[in-house]
Structure 1
Amino acid sequence: MKNSIRMLGITMGFGLLSLGFSAGAWGAEYGPRMLFKSRATVSGGWIRVGDVAVLQGPRSALTEEINRLPIKEAPAPGEAAVVTRREIESALTAVPEGIRRPWEPAPLEIIVTREGRVLGAEEIGRIIAGHIRKNLPGGNIQVEVREVRNFEEVTLPAEARSCKVWISEPLRKGGWVRANLVFFGNGKETERLTVSARVDLYQQVVVADRYLKRHQEIQAEDLQVLPVNLQQLPPDAVTNPGEVLGKRMIVNLNAREPLRASLLEVPPLVKKGDVVNVILERNSLRISCLAEIKETGRKGDRVKLVNLGSRKELFGRVVDAGTVQLDIN
């Protein structure tokens, strides 16, 4: 048979599929042998001949065309449908008359299940957390979704591999948010959900490793860096241990509480009663004397002193623990 057979059109459901077979390509050769299944699974939106039957014989363009012949729309993900003999035979009418058909009649019914996966609260939480983590500024914020509400478990089709997320409320310190999730498969939307989720945000901050007393100078062994919930975090919490080493506590602080900048101070270099060397330098002139400190002072502070010899009151700026530079302004 050398003349071309006209193109055949098959209309199924709401879609129109045109399949072309050219008899001249195969002459009067036998088509592939077809062994039907009793049960089958599909992943896409259509049930095709290749889903319910195994075609035996040399692989050819004809075999591929028969495999792709649509029978009917697939059921919803996770559900099953019955494919009847009449539906299969109707699909096979697209095979040209000139092709010999060495296959047995199809079973009266074949049960076909569409593959799917159950989407639960845990996976939704991971998706929302990943979206938030990706869009938060900085890299030291940890995200955890503790609870998901206002949704029912759904079964997604196997081809649903991507998801877009929209969160309506701005996330500052976490809390309850409303999230919209849209799942896509093969470039098409497959499922849309709106859920409520409780989001906790954590930041790595410096906390006390032990009880710290007032006026205790901070050492490295006094500190830990731990994640703390932003809702419980004071605005002046310290994130870098190096910023607090050598400083001292203004108040007592319990173990595992965050260190705050407002609770720390630089230890004074001199305190009331200390005897220091007071110096005055002008050009090549240098004068010094001993004086008693009358008030606590840190480096650069202006403090009051009394000259031990003359008992005259002086003022100067702290240079170090044993030296004050006379202030004559």
Structure 2
Amino acid sequence: MKRWIGFILFCCFPAASLAESVVPTRTIRANATISEADVAIKSVANPNAFSRVMDVIGQEARTTLYAGRPILFVDVGPPALIDRNQIVSLKFKTAGLMIITEGRSLQRGGVGDRIRIMNLDSRTTLFGQVQPDGTVRVFE
């Protein structure tokens, strides 16, 4: 009886065994930008991995990616606009008031990332979100 149930499930749901994932063709170091030549499609079932090559091209590796292993959603992200120790413009806006000053980035970050920064005037540590123009919007 158990054999028949397994056979029926295999026949009715073959897509689970035919799932494809994006894998690196070579080892990709952390902080490297992924190009089309770096990735390929392989038959590996992993629900937390990318299934389309176009989703990872142009992204930056957050960790070292090893050849043949599926690229997981947490392994890549947008390329960093801000490096650690870089001087950046900080913008704080609330109730019609806008304050712009300089700060030092304490982390790397790409567009939309939340990073720690140090205000150069007050030496306080703040958190902000990296904007597309390379500035950091400070949270309240």
TM-score between both structures, scaled by the size of structure 1: 0.34
* Structure 1 residue 274 displacement after superposition: 0.9
Which residue does the alignment assign to 2:29?
Answer: 213
Query: How far, CA to CA, are the matches of 1:260 and 1:302 in structure 2?
Result: 20
Query: What is the letter of the counterpart of residue 123 of structure 2?
Result: K
How many percent of aligned residue pairs carry the same amino acid? 20
**What does the per-residue CA deviation read over 1:287-317, in whole Å, with 9 as the maximum and x for residues that have no partner?**
3111111233343344332333x24315232
Q: Does 1:326 align with 2:131?
A: no
Aligned to 1:237: 49
Mind listing any 5+ residue stretches in structure 1 that lack a counterpart? 1-166, 175-200
SS of the equivalent of 1:171 reads helix
What does 1:1-329 correspond to in 2, within 5 Å? Answer: 168=4, 169=6, 170-171=9-10, 201-226=17-42, 228=43, 233-249=45-61, 250-254=63-67, 256-282=68-94, 285-308=97-120, 310-315=121-126, 316-320=128-132, 322-327=134-139, 329=140
- What is the distance in 2 between the residues matched to 1:286 and 1:242? 39
RMSD after superposition? 3.0
- 1:252 Cα offset (Å): 3.1
Give the superposition deviation at 1:208: 1.9
Letter in 2 for 1:247: Q
Check 1:312–1:245 CA distance in 2 against 1; reply closer, same or farther (3 A cut): same
Q: How many residues align?
A: 130
Q: TM-score when scaled to structure 2? A: 0.69
Higher strand share: 1
Report the CA distance between 1:322 and its aligned residue.
Answer: 2.5
Contact 1:314 1:326 in 2 (8 A): no
Counterpart AA for 1:277: S
Distance 1:221 1:306, change over 3 A: same
